[in-house]
Structure formats: structure tokens, C-alpha cells
Amino acid sequence: MKQKDIEQIIHDDHTGMSLIVKTVARMMIAVIILFAFYIILYGHLTPGGGFAGGVILAIAYTLMMLAFSRKMALHKFSDFWASFWDNIGMLAFIILGFLGLNSGYFLYNFIWHGKPFHLVSAGIIPLANIAIGVKVGACLYAIFIGLSIYGRLIIKEEE
Amino acid sequence: MVVYILDMVILVIGIYCLIAKRHLIKKIIGMVLMEYSVNLFLILIGYRHNGIAPILMPDENRVHFAQYGVDPLPQALVLTSIVIGLGTLALMAAYAMRLYEKYRTFDMSEIRRLKG
Amino acid sequence: MASVMLPLSVGIPLLSAVLILLIGKAWRNAGALFAPITTLITLVFAIDLLGADAGTYWMGGWPPPFGIVLVLDSVSKVLLLVVNMVAFLASVYAVSYMQKYTAQNKFYALFILMLAGMNGVVLTGDLFNLYVFLEIASIASYALVGFGVEHEELEAGFKYLVLGTIASTMLLVGIAIVYNLTGSVNMADVARFVSGMPPNKALLFALAMFLFGFGLKAGLVPFHAWLPDAHPSAPAPVSAMLSGVLIKAIGVYPLIRITYSVFGAPNIILNLILWLGVISAVVGVFLALGQYDIKRLMAYHSVSQMGYVAIGIGLGTPLGIAAALFHMFNHALFKSLLFLSAGSLESATGTRDLRQMGGLKKKMPITSLATATGSLSIAGVPPFNGFFSKLLIIIAAIMAKQYVAAGVAAFVSLLTLASFTKVMKYSLLGKLNEKYERLKESPVLMAIVLTILSVLCLGVGLFYNYFMDSIFNPAANDLLNQAKYISMVIGG
């Protein structure tokens, strides 16, 4: 998709929702993604963590799909890459578990723990949170793509 | 005690909805009700009035902590169970769509090819 | 401190499932290569662990009851061996059988995930962890049942999904009640608490929840409605896994473990299991008698054979439990053999209806021999393995003065023989249908798997004494010794 097409989707009233929704969504999506990263990165200090942050991350892309159009969302983050990052997140978590074997136990917290209540602390827990966040975000988005594209196919067939 | 009973009422409604309703989407809603009532049950077990975060710092008053610190385990269990519920929900929605594609109906009483 | 193979039995399948999906994006045959290798590795682990000492593994280095602990005792060893053996053979069979399906990599990934879940259930020593692994295995199996995405498969899969979800929810309610009463989800810790407590209605209620949940997953009779739909609908290797090991690994095994090791086998629950077993044995075999769909018939026999296992467990004597475990082992062998050979017959003839087959003996000698071996084993004809375990269950029932159960078990055995005589008569003997003139023997890999399973069926039958003494009797003694389990997990 070229820059011109993107411009057209943004300003066209016929694809996606109305101009008001599009304008608000365009401002909000970046903030939502930022918030998701905050929840993921501070998961070991505050309530939240990989799963909650990942859900928020997925919601940002789902909002993009709802407000603009399926075409736009798939251009930014296609189903192939969603599935790819889903697998990468899970792979990273399992490899983290296997690295612990080096220090004696599966999933052992082998990194220096640091001072409590600082961002760099708690050993592998922030890393595990990042892996889970990536996995959950990509996975939920992939589920949404799967259900919406497949549902659209059924409706088309019916018509 | 009343909250536990009300929670079990939600559970029973969920099971009823899952089994007795014929519409696939209503079945899915029943499944969600059922899962969430159990999550609520776990949360009720771990709930403490005026609870504090269960992090024991070196300068914490141990007696006060033991009295008011909430139980962190049910929260971890609930989070895990929510994730599992999400997976089941997604699979169920996918099944409902596939069934609709094949049978052209959401009515479970018309989806009857298996017998015997 | 047990060996590192315990977490690896769960971790390597998980890793492999991800790698199959990841590499499968670029290379279509990734699954067909990785799945048999993974199952071979876990099978080697399982065989190696047979000789290992009993012990525990602390996940992440956290001691019980705070952390999750994996427990290896003589019961887990049996189940681990069964699960991985059948999984290896089924995955080798799948390499050849799944050629005609699309999206093979997703199939293999789900298959391996199901294996990871079952290994986890068998090894874990923590109630909630058991629930999580059980859900991993269950969700993978829900998806696998509907893998063919045709009318019947989807309907069966949805039915299984609905009933399985209710069972899982009930299990979670049971776990929540146990946690509320004892303040722990570690099985040994709960057991220590329960053994020092007077009889308690809430605990019995929790145990009833467990009985419902695991009974549904095991397909015992009042809860069996999903099983004859779901098991035949899946592709043949998955049918073999579901009927061969899944109903045992996530149904019967947790039921045994929780009744005996955790709750100390209260009599009321044992009686309930015994009578559920008697009813399952009778109802399953009667429903099977009228079937002409070959895979559906076998699925009903799974219900009936699980009834035998439940009878053995419900007796509560060392011989009864050992015989039940032995029958579980045998059932895994011959039921997976039967389902795999039914898959061969189906993919050759294109039908599952017994009335349209016939005279296949001449065209497919190896498959026919395998079908005959499986049928004779399940019917309990002397040199094969099914005979000895059924005989031991009947003897154990008589010794425990449960004459009704013993009589029913003997009677059901006769009906099973009748039912499988019908299978052999319709499919193997008789006149060859004209349209099957050009039929060929099934591909090499499938034939090899069938041969291995047939030899195992016969071999276990011939050396049953050795197997009972070395594997199953110690397992039964371990199950009855609750104090030893507690001291092994908490004290070790």
C-alpha cells in the first residue's frame, strides 16, 4: 500500500468509521501502545505485567482495524507477522526457562536480582514479562484478524 | 456468606445457559459467565477487608502484615484461569463460526448429524 | 533431587511445538520431521526414568510447598512410559497418514502441545499446575477433534468443547475449595493436612467435584456422551492418542492420584468409583454391540474398558490397583493399535462402515493381522495382554468380595468378544467387494507401526508376570502408601 492510499483511507468517509472517530483514534493509538509498554516493563513493580500489557497492546491494533479499516491494520501489522511474533514471544519465554538449567533449575532466576522497587531488578521476571507481552499482544491480534477475516468470508459467500 | 451463595448462583446460571440454550452465541455467553463466577470465587477466598499489598519489606511490622496482608496466591490463580478462559473462548468462537459456515444456522437443535 | 529429565519432558515438547510453527512458515514439512524426533526424545527419557529413583524436581529452585514441584514416583513412571510410547508410534504413523491433509504443521504443533500437557499432568505435584496442564492438553484435543472441519467433526468437537469446559470449571471449583480449607495447592501439603483432619463435608464435596471433572474427561458412563462422537471424528493418529492415552493421562490418572495420594481413599468415594466402573463396563459394551461404524464401535469399547479400570481402582486393594494400572497400560497398547489399523482400513477403502468392507484379509495382510491382534487382545483371548489384566481384575474383585463386579466383568468380556468377532467377520473375512480389487497394503511406515504395536501386545501378554512384578505392583504399593508420598515431596 502506498502513502497515497493511506492518506485516502484516513480521509475517506466510506472506509472505516467517521472522521471524528478516525481523528481521535489516530491520536489515541500511540498513547495506548505507550501505556501497554509501561504496563509490560513495570510488571514486576506495579499491578499488571505481561498479560495485561499484551492485551492493551492488542487492543491498540484492534482499534486501528475498527476505526480505519482491515486493509490499513493489515498494512501496519499483517497476519503473518502477528503469528510470527506470537511464536517468537513463546520461544523467548521457553528459552529463558532453558537458560535457567545452566544454574541448576528449570526457570531459575539466574540474573542478579538488583535492588527492590527499581526498574532493573527481579532478575528474569521483567524479561519474562516482555516475552509474554509480545506473545499475548500478537496472539490476541492474530485471533481478532482470524475471526474477523473468516467471518467476512462467510458473509460474502452468503451474499 | 451471602456473596458465596450469589457467586454459586451465577455459576449455576452459567451452566444452565451453556447446556440448555440452543443458540451457539448464548452458549458462549454461558461459558463466560461460568468461568468468571469461578474466578470471582477464587478472588472472594483471597479477599481481606482493609488489605495491604503482600510485599514484606525489612522494616515492615510483622504482626500487622500477617493480619492485613492479602493472600497473593488466588490472584495468581485467577490470572492464569482468565488466560485459559480466553483461550477456550477464542476456540469456541472459532468453532461457532465454522459451524455456521457448514450448517448455515446458529441453532444447536438443527446441528444434529451424529447419532447412535 | 530427581533428574533434569522431568522438566525437559514438558519443556522439549513445548519448544518443539513453537519451532514447528516458526520453521513451518518457511518449510512445509517441518512438522513431519520435528514431531517424531521430539516424541522419540521424550520416549527415551521415559524409558530412562523407569530405572531412576523416585524423587522431586523443584521448578525455579523453590522448595515445596511454596514452589511448583514435579514428582516422579512409580505411578508417574508407568503413565510417562505409556504416554510417550503411544505418542511416538502415533506421530510416526501420522507422517504417512497426514499426507492428504492441509495445514500439517498446525496438526503437529497441536499434537506435540497435547503431549506436553499430558506429560505435565502426569509429572506435576501441584493441584493448580495439574489444572493448567490439563487445560493445555484439553484445548489442544478440542482443536484436534475438529481438525477435519467437516460437518460431523465440527459438531463432535463443539460438543466435546462444551462438556470439557464444564468439567474443567468444576475442577477449578474443587481446587478453590481445597485451597480455602487447607491453604495450599501442593498435593503433598494438602494430603498432610487432610490426613490429620476429621471427616469433613466440604472436602467430600470437593472430591465429588474432582470425581465429576475427571470422570467426564475419562469418559465414565453418566458423563460419556461426548466420547463416542469425539474419538471417531479425529484423524486416526489423534483418535489413537485420545482413546489410547488422553482419557487415562488427564482422566483416570489424576483421579487415582487425588483419591489415593491426596485424600487417602475415603470408602464412600471408592464405592462410587467402583459402581461407576460397573455401569460404564455394561453400558459401553451394550452400546457398542449395535454399531456398524468401525471407529464409533471402538470408541464405545473405550468407555467399557475404562469401566474395568474404574472397577480395579474402586476395589482399593493392592492387587486391584495393580491390575487396573496394568489394564490401563494394555488398553493404551491395543486401543491405539485398533484405532491405527482402523485408520489404515479407512484410508484404503474410504469408508468406516463395516457392512461395506469385507474380505480385506487377502488385500491387506499386515493391517488385517494387526486388527485381529488388537481384537483378540481387547476381547481377552489368552496369550494376549488383555486377558491377563482382565483376569487379574476379576480375581481382585472376587478377593475383595465384590462378586457382582466380578460377574459383570466376566460377562462384559464375553460381549466384547462377540462385538469384535463381528468386526473381524465384516471387515477381514467374507467376500471381497468388487470395488476394492485394486486395494494395496498400507504404506511402509504405517505397517511398521502396526507391527510394533502388535508385537508389544503379544509380548506384554507373554511376559505379564515380569511386568506385574517390576512395574505395576510397586506402583500400587506406592499409591496406597500416602505417608511415603508426603515425606518424599515435603521432606525430600
Nearest to C14 by CA among C144, C118, C124, C125: C118
pLDDT at B115: 66
Complex ipTM, two decimals? Answer: 0.93
Q: How far apart are the first and last CA of chain A?
A: 28
- Chain C: residue whose CA lies nearest to A84: C22
Chain C residues touching residue A94 (CB < 8 angstroms):
11, 14-15, 18
pLDDT at B116: 53
pLDDT at C435: 74
Chain A residues touching residue C19 (CB < 8 angstroms):
91
Kindly determine whether residue B38 and residue C176, on different chains, have CB atoms separated by under 8 Å.
yes
Contacts of A129 (CB under 8 A, 6+ apart): A40, A41, A43, A44, A49, A50, A53
Chain A residues touching residue B94 (CB < 8 angstroms):
146-147, 150
- Chain C: residue whose CA lies nearest to B16: C166
Amino acid identity, residue C20? Answer: I
Phi, psi of C4 (to 5 degrees): -70, -10
How confident is the prediction along chain A (159 residues), in pLDDT tens digits per residue? 677 777 777 777 667 778 888 888 888 999 999 999 999 988 888 888 888 999 999 999 888 888 887 777 788 888 888 889 999 999 999 998 888 888 778 877 777 777 777 777 778 888 889 999 999 999 999 999 888 888 777 777 777
* Segments in chain C below pLDDT 50: none
pLDDT at C2: 64
Q: For the residues B78-102, what does the mean pLDDT come to? A: 90
The distance of C151 to chain B (nearest Cα, Å) reads: 6
Contacts of C471 (CB under 8 A, 6+ apart): C50, C74, C77, C78, C329
Residues C198-221 have pLDDT tens digits of 778 888 899 999 999 999 999 888
CA distance C381 to C377: 6
Nearest to C475 by CA among C319, C335, C269: C319
Interchain contact B97–A (C-beta under 8 A): yes
Residues C266-307 have pLDDT tens digits of 888 899 999 999 999 999 999 998 888 888 899 999 999 999
The distance of B61 to chain C (nearest Cα, Å) reads: 22
Which of A88, A94, A109 lies nearest to residue C14, judging by beta carbons?
A94
CB C207, CB C263: distance < 8 Å: yes
Interchain contact B84–C (C-beta under 8 A): yes
Interchain contact B79–A (C-beta under 8 A): yes
Going along chain B from its start, the domains and CATH numbers come out as 2-110 (1.10.287.3510)
Kindly determine whether residue C162 and residue B87, on different chains, have CB atoms separated by under 8 Å.
no
pLDDT at C336: 92
Kindly write down the DSSP assignment for every residue of C276-306, as one continuous string. HHHHHHHHHHHHHHT--BHHHHHHHHHHHHH
pLDDT at A13: 66
List subunits contacting chain B, requiring 3 or more Cβ pairs under 8 Å: A, C
Peptide bond into C65 cis (omega under 30): yes
Interchain contact B93–A (C-beta under 8 A): yes
CA atoms within 13 A on the CB side of C93: 33
Q: Which helix (H) or strand (E) holds C70?
A: strand C69-72
pLDDT at C1: 54
Domain positions in chain C are: 5-491
Chain C residues touching residue B91 (CB < 8 angstroms):
139, 142-143, 161
Chain C residues touching residue A90 (CB < 8 angstroms):
14, 18
CA distance B18 to B108: 11
CB C209, CB C127: distance < 8 Å: no
Interface test with B, best of C158, C231, C303 (most B CBs within 10 A): C158
Kindly determine whether residue C154 and residue B98, on different chains, have CB atoms separated by under 8 Å.
yes
pLDDT at C442: 79
In Å, what is the CA distance from A100 to each residue of A125, A135, B42, C4, C334?
12, 20, 31, 12, 40
